[in-house]
Structure 1
Amino acid sequence: MDGHGIREEVLGKLSPPISRTNPRMMEVSSTRRKFESFHPAITFQGAQFLRPNRDPGTYLALDLMTPRLNAIHQHLWLAGLPNAARPLHRQKLLGRNISVTEDPDEHLVWFEAQIFIKPLSDFLLDYDYWNDNLCSDQELYKSACGLLLSYAWLVRHQSDLDIAKESGLLSKNMEWINWVEFLDGFLDNINLSTLSQVNQRYKYGELRLSRLNTIYRVIPPTYSIKNFVRGYKSGSTWYNAFFERHFKWMLAVFAVLSVFLSALQVGLATRMLQDNGPFQRVSYGFALASVIAVVGSIALVFFVWLGLFWYCLISTWSNDRAVNRGIRTTVSSL
């Protein structure tokens, strides 16, 4: 960062990490700023609606910051490596489908054959927007720098740029030469050895969703009934999808039990083992244990279903009361 940028940081305002000397990028940003807004007209924060163009500060925190991952930063080594994420062409070679997400906490999180990637917002390409809206808040600044850095990982080659444009991650008007010039200017202002200018989440690249779910369910800093049920990111809310994800291992166990019971049955049918006392005792014990295991598994599934049913019912009722109470409070204050 140059001397001017250091002086601005000392005075309490950071310097934009991108260059304003790329004429093509400035032209695109100026045109977009003139004819369309950078932000959507409405979005939601939980049950509360938000008007981004009227409250840009709250919207930017929602759009850029990663509070859920920061809360478990000390445990992220369980979910990923402190390495750069693989470029988009390599994601394709691994057989992963790119799923677009607008939640920064889901950016670069992968599950089986899917990886979630947040599109690069147009305002992060605009020098004036950085100067006016991001440079006065250090946390927003670091989060925005982290998101830009993740795109330096993802779009390293022209083939990556083509994939990004096809997937809706970058503007279709982006040219390779402009992208390289833009990243050169950005990377000049980032210490790639310490990553001190980026949010701590981006000291890790890709994160495994199944591990994040486990961390959120069992580690004390984020432990709660809600997190225990939903984990970090819940998938389908259908009961059959839930039991398929969490109890399909039972099918493998029952298959192994069936093979063992069949083998014991064949052994008892032979003359050599019919009168063998130890073998008969083992067969009796294993058969009894198998019956208990099956009954116990059925009981476990039933009680889990019952607990989920009541949890969802009570949560829905509580949320409905909270929303209605908020509406009554708002109406009474008018």
Structure 2
Amino acid sequence: MAPCRLTPPFPPDQSLVELSAITHPSIVRTAVATVILPSQDLDAYLAHELNTTRLSCLHKYLWLAGLPVPARPLHRQRLMNRAIVITERADEHLVWHEHRIFIKPMPAFLLCHSFWETHLCSDRDLHASACGMLLSYAWLVAYPSDFAIAAAAGLLPPGVTWQRWTSLACAALGALDLATMSDVAPRYRYGELRLSRLDMLTRWSFLLLPPAAPPWSPRRLVDGYMSSSTWYTAFFERHFGWLVVGFVYVSVVLSALQVGLATDALAASPHFQAFGLGLTLAGLAALFLALAAMLALWLVLFWYHLLSTIAFDRRTRLQREKAREKKKKPTSL
């Protein structure tokens, strides 16, 4: 049986952007520090622009980071005191952390029927990712208030009106199989995803992912899902802030013990004396171990970043030298 031909999720008359009006970036930096020139390799750019492979690999465990329900509209995000932070990576789209939610602006080419037919309908994975991105905006922009927020934040291409957006969204929702969600990439079967849980899943992915998945690397353990800061101070504040709270409680208990030992009844009790001695020694041991662990972790991170930077710099220079030598060689006729 011949495979079913993929089609755009909305008819030609619902297009909001003309093919001639679509402009791609001049250069795009990838996650592995390489660059893509859309004018020279449009297929690679589209694959990068809509790529959600990291989340698709973790699809079996995404229930730990979110629920398989539609994302909340933008006005509800504001009601929950979440600030909209722009990201241009599709695998960070609808990921939230504390009072921030990361949202990728709607690519203009997803609103053009001709572009879908020419570039997006020839690849099933690319088509599923594009349908998922379009579906996510149907979730986010459901009311006129959501449309006003999206327009003000620059999430929608200029010139799109509420009426035309509603018509396109209705057509897309009617074309997609919302009961099985088989038309969209696995990532979009979930709505909002919690960043702290994605960090945990990423760090332990070597135990979760099948052998066919992309290989695990130490950088995943260090950076997690999203590396939000390159400062050691911010790293330790984020991961060891709970120690401060723990030591506050220990200080309160030790102060209470000191007050108790000042009383005649408790000072004469050998059981209370033993309890106070044990708790004091335990508190000192915990403080020493915590400081030693932080120092050891700092040394590990320092040497890891130093050695990985040296290796990356050497590898990049070798690649550039090879490219330079390749250009010098005369082409054979």
Using the alignment, how far apart are the partners of 2:101 and 2:261 within structure 1?
52
Once the two structures are superposed, the pairs formed by residues 3-22 of structure 1 within 5 Å of their partners are: 10=2, 13-22=5-14
Q: Which moved more, 1:203-212 or 1:40-49?
A: 40-49
Once the two structures are superposed, the pairs formed by residues 130-279 of structure 1 within 5 Å of their partners are: 130-219=116-205, 220=207, 221=209, 223-279=216-272
Question: Which residue identity lines up with residue 53 of structure 1 in the other structure?
Answer: S
Question: Which residue identity lines up with residue 62 of structure 1 in the other structure?
Answer: H
Deviations 1:201-256 (A, max 9, x none): 10000000000001111232275321111111111110110000000101011101
Partner residue of 1:41? Answer: 26
**Conserved in 2, the CA contact under 8 Å of 1:14 and 1:136?**
yes
What is the TM-score when the length of structure 2 is the normalising length? 0.93
- Provide closer, same or farther for how the CA distance between residues 14 and 229 of structure 1 changes in structure 2, counting only shifts above 3 A: same
Deviations 1:239-280 (A, max 9, x none): 110000000101011101101111111111111112211111
Secondary structure of 2:176 counterpart: coil
**Conserved in 2, the CA contact under 8 Å of 1:217 and 1:224?**
no
**Conserved in 1, the CA contact under 8 Å of 2:105 and 2:154?**
yes
Partner residue of 2:88? Answer: 102
Q: Pick from 284, 301, 309: which aligns with 1:316?
A: 309
Shift of 1:13: 4.0
Shift of 1:156: 0.4
Using the alignment, how far apart are the partners of 2:58 and 2:153 within structure 1?
30
**Conserved in 1, the CA contact under 8 Å of 2:94 and 2:102?**
yes
Using the alignment, how far apart are the partners of 1:224 and 1:281 within structure 2?
48
Secondary structure of 1:246 counterpart: helix
- Provide closer, same or farther for how the CA distance between residues 78 and 145 of structure 1 changes in structure 2, counting only shifts above 3 A: same
Shift of 1:172: 3.5
Using the alignment, how far apart are the partners of 1:121 and 1:10 within structure 2?
31
**Conserved in 1, the CA contact under 8 Å of 2:19 and 2:114?**
no
Using the alignment, how far apart are the partners of 2:3 and 2:286 within structure 1?
68
Q: Pick from 21, 39, 57: which aligns with 1:32?
A: 21
Number of residue pairs the alignment of both structures matches: 319
Partner residue of 2:330? Answer: none
Using the alignment, how far apart are the partners of 2:116 and 2:298 within structure 1?
49
Deviations 1:49-79 (A, max 9, x none): 2111210100001000201101111100000
Q: Any unmatched runs of 5+ in structure 2?
A: 210-214, 328-333
Shift of 1:87: 0.2
Q: Percent identity?
A: 45
- Provide closer, same or farther for how the CA distance between residues 31 and 328 of structure 1 changes in structure 2, counting only shifts above 3 A: closer
What is the TM-score when the length of structure 1 is the normalising length? 0.92
The yes-or-no answer on 1:122 pairing with 2:134 is: no
Deviations 1:131-189 (A, max 9, x none): 00010000000000000000010000111011001011002321111011111221221
Using the alignment, how far apart are the partners of 2:303 and 2:55 within structure 1?
29
Using the alignment, how far apart are the partners of 2:34 and 2:283 within structure 1?
51
The yes-or-no answer on 1:62 pairing with 2:48 is: yes
Using the alignment, how far apart are the partners of 1:212 and 1:232 within structure 2?
6
Q: Which moved more, 1:84-93 or 1:188-197?
A: 188-197
Shift of 1:10: 4.1
Partner residue of 1:296? Answer: 289
Secondary structure of 1:248 counterpart: helix
**Conserved in 2, the CA contact under 8 Å of 1:216 and 1:223?**
no
Using the alignment, how far apart are the partners of 1:152 and 1:126 within structure 2?
16
Secondary structure of 1:188 counterpart: helix
Question: Which residue identity lines up with residue 29 of structure 1 in the other structure?
Answer: E
